[in-house]
Structure 1
Amino acid sequence: MGGAFYLVVLAVVAVAIGVVTTGSWRLGVRWFGGALLFAALVRAVLPAKDAGMLAVRRRWWDCFLLAGTGAALIFLAGSIPDQPL
């Protein structure tokens, strides 16, 4: 079950990277952060034996790192001011 969620997260990250490369970096970074937050939620809900490749460390540590990184990316994408070209 966790493998399917892992593939969903991986697909969203791939889409996010595609969005970043086409020029809308803020939107792409937000998608990337959202994928990490979703991964944290899935890791928190699924037991370790069902979490698949989302289970790397202890559950609380995985959730903390995924949620913290996702939230930081979303915050930074919204708070960095536009720069003139």
Structure 2
Amino acid sequence: MSEEPEEEPVSAEPLVEEDGQRRYPSTIGGAFYLAVLAVVAVGIGIVTTGSWRLGIRWYAGALIAASVLRAVLPAKDAGMLAVRKRWWDCVLLAGAGAALLFLAASIPDQPM
């Protein structure tokens, strides 16, 4: 059984321009991270307006999309999507997203 080499954390030091200005977002993964956060914010907004199932589905979709992005982006481009090893990030994000989808679908409506 061959083991994948461990991914080394990527330092933000080389991402600072020579004039001291930092590029934002510094990686394509950073842009995707911001997009995932925007979708989560939309989901939370939907929850606050009363449609909690739809909001939770948006939130779960954002987590599952983050999992897929983490799986396909190289380590140097993953940005803030890379927290742990690739497989662990993917499993946690996809698992949390799937659990939220399951819970939103399985919780029965409550009488008012």
Normalised to the residue count of structure 2, the TM-score between the two structures is 0.75
Which protein is richer in helix relative to its size?
A: 1
Give yes or no for the alignment of 1:71 onto 2:104: no
Runs of 5+ consecutive residues of structure 2 not aligned to the other structure: 1-27
Runs of 5+ consecutive residues of structure 1 not aligned to the other structure: none
| Alignment match of 2:45 (pick from 18, 24, 27) | 18
Q: Compare CA radii of gyration and give the structure with the larger one.
A: 2
CA distance in 1, matches of 2:76, 2:96: 24
Give yes or no for the alignment of 1:53 onto 2:80: yes
* Matched positions, count: 85
Q: Give the % identical residues.
A: 79
| Alignment match of 2:58 (pick from 17, 21, 31) | 31
CA distance in 2, matches of 1:30, 1:56: 24
Query: Which structure ranks higher in relative contact order (CA pairs < 8 Å, sequence separation ≥ 6)?
Result: 1
Normalised to the residue count of structure 1, the TM-score between the two structures is 0.99
CA distance in 1, matches of 2:75, 2:111: 47
CA distance in 2, matches of 1:10, 1:82: 28
